[in-house]
Amino acid sequence: SSRSPFRLPFQQCPRQPDRQKADNLTAMLSDIPSETPPNNLAALAEDHYFSANPPPKDLEKHVALAREFINYHSAANRRLVLITSGGTTVPLEKQTVRFIDNFSAGTRGATSAEYFLEAGYAVLFLHRQFSLLPFSRHYSHATDCFLDFLREGPNGSVVARDEDSAKMLHVLRKYRDARDRNMLLLLPFVSISDYLHELRSVAQLMRPLGPRGLLYLAAAVSDFFVPPDRMSEHKIQSTNAADVFKRTGDANSRPAAEEEETFDNFDSSPSVPRSKRLVIDLDPVPKFLKNLVEGWSPQGMIVSFKLETDPTILVHKARYSLDRYQHHLVIGNLLSTRKWEVVFVSPGAPDRWIRVPFRKSGVASTAPALETEKDEPLDPKSLPEAEPE
């Protein structure tokens, strides 16, 4: 068959150059002596991932902006935080029409950025393109259109509605102050490989900051991806109509009935012809936290987030991550309660839960996952602490 490997169960894949490459890698890895230190293995995995997955087209431009920003604040002896925020996409095609995404709206990252600015940090905000941004988050992605916050003023002017103007002025002043003092740099990414390239480059640039550099990893990082050597160049087809044309060059040719209805023993869904199904085969995204902690930014303060949906494993997974990567803090959160409670897990300290009291009447304890934040930032000092239930 000349069908894309996406459509074929693994056993049916023709031995193509891309499979050959995967075999070469397997052979290379099996040649590695078993006593190879784990650090060397991590370096090999890093080399392989970053050479196989092309960098985003704006990486050089972003690196130049980040270098200038970091040098500027380093010269002022200022603390600087890299915040990662929002979801990472997993493209299914090189010329991407379709991709897998996750739930993250970037609320945690954008809100945290405002608090870090308030605390005197310069903020390098590495965020998913079009996700929530510090300050503008109060007026975007909301159920209201931003125009709802405005009204016509005198002489054809546009002004904030009376009921919104006090808050808007407060947000505007903070935003202007951050911008005018060059305290906030926004760098966007889209896909998981864009994110990892950007993260590695910026983390390495932050090395000279030592412990004055904080990495606060709030992005929702995809765990699975399609490696480029298995990725279709063009839009994945939903029928095999183009195959016959490609084979024969005859625009009037049509697939034979038997070609439309191909089944075999490997079919997981034999009632649907294979030509109409899409089977996606994802590889695990390598975990680069070890590389980050030990190589990219070894002196930096590193805070990672752990997201789970099952409350019974959250703290265990957070503690496991801390033990494995030996960084400074893991903040655990559950998808359904992440807006008002988190658990801090740090070395040699008991788990510490932080809960935000409900401040809006009628907010149920299972708030919708994508509820948009429209609240004022809280004073962190005012937050009560509570023991886990």
Site for ligand PMT (CB under 6 A): which residue of 5, 56, 91, 106? 106
Residue 189 near ligand PMT by CB under 6 A: no
Residue 329 near ligand PMT by CB under 6 A: no
Task: Give dist(CA 220, CA 217) in Å, integer.
Answer: 9
Which residues on neighbouring strands pair with residue 215, listed in sequence order?
Answer: 82, 302
Does the CA dihedral 91-97-98-104 come out positive or negative? positive
Task: Give dist(CA 206, CA 204) in Å, integer.
Answer: 5
Per-residue DSSP letter, 229: G
Residue 138 near ligand PMT by CB under 6 A: no
C-alpha neighbours within 13 Å on the C-beta side of residue 275: 16
Contacts of 47 by beta carbon, 8 Å cutoff, 6+ apart: none
- Per-residue binding letters, 337-376, with ligand PMT (x by CB under 6 A): -x--------------------------------------
Residue 307 near ligand PMT by CB under 6 A: yes
The least CB distance from residue 240 to ligand PMT, in Å, is 34
Number of residues that bind ligand PMT (CB under 6 A): 20
**Helix, strand, coil shares, percent, the chain, to 5:** 40, 15, 45
Around Cβ 251, how many Cβ atoms within 10 Å? Answer: 6
HEC string for 136-203: HHHCCCCCCCHHHHEEECHHHCEEECHHHHHHHHHHHHHHHHHHHCCCEEEEEECEHHHHHHHHHHHH
The least CB distance from residue 387 to ligand PMT, in Å, is 21
Site for ligand PMT (CB under 6 A): which residue of 144, 223, 371, 375? 223
DSSP string, 7-20: GS-GGG----HHHH
Contacts of ligand PMT in 142-161 (CB under 6 A): none
Q: Which range of residues in 44-52, 160-168, 218-226, 343-351 is near ligand PMT by CB under 6 A? A: 218-226
Nearer to ligand PMT, 7 or 327 (CB): 327
Residue 217 near ligand PMT by CB under 6 A: yes
Residue 104 near ligand PMT by CB under 6 A: yes
The least CB distance from residue 59 to ligand PMT, in Å, is 19
> Residue 267: what residue type?
D
Place of tokens 């265990």: 316
Nearer to ligand PMT, 206 or 221 (CB): 221
For 31, the token pair is: 């040649």
Contacts of ligand PMT in 228-287 (CB under 6 A): 285, 287
Task: Give dist(CA 375, CA 162) in Å, integer.
Answer: 18
Site for ligand PMT (CB under 6 A): which residue of 138, 230, 274, 306? 306
Residue 304 near ligand PMT by CB under 6 A: yes
Nearer to ligand PMT, 126 or 289 (CB): 289
Residue 200 near ligand PMT by CB under 6 A: no
Residue 133 near ligand PMT by CB under 6 A: no
Instruction: Write out the residues near ligand PMT by the rule CB under 6 A.
Output: 104-108, 217-218, 220-221, 223, 285, 287-289, 304-307, 333, 338
